[in-house]
Amino acid sequence: MIFEKTLMTLAAAAAIAAAAAVGVFAAAFALYAVVQVYLGAAGAAAVVAAVAALIVAIAGLIAARKVEQRQAPSQGATPDSFGLTEKIVGIVRDRPLLSIGAGLAAGVFALKNPVLTAAVFKAFMEPRQPPR
């Protein structure tokens, strides 16, 4: 059930990406056809390339602005005031590929050493005894 739902989601995402690619290609071709009448083939190709570069530059500026806003330090909190959980969540958000790699490495390690994994799991799950 879950695997089938995942595959359907991936197929839908692939269809949306393909439709977007066809739309962008068609828009570029239409721009080329309109401009070719006035500037010729080379000029039309240059205009299409310039428009594509302009779109990429605008998207890059928007992405850079969002990153700057996210990295701006807040007045109330200092990096040392965060707990371990907040630091881990921050690492997962900032570096998702590193987090996936670390998760896979931990999974492989857990499969290779089931006794150690069981001991660590037991240590975290047992209730703590109050000190005497």
DSSP string over 79-127 = GGGS-HHHHHHHHHHH-HHHHHHHHHHHHHHHHH-HHHHHHHHHHHHSP
pTM for the structure as a whole:
0.45
Task: Reply yes or no on whether the pLDDT at 124 is more than 70.
Answer: no
What's the chain's average pLDDT?
78
Give, to the nearest 10 degrees, the angle between helix 96-112 and helix 84-94: 110
Q: Establish how many alpha carbons lie within 13 A of residue 58's alpha carbon, considering only the half-sphere containing its beta carbon.
A: 6
Which tens digits make up the pLDDT trace of 11-59?
888 888 888 888 888 988 999 999 999 999 998 899 988 888 888 888 8
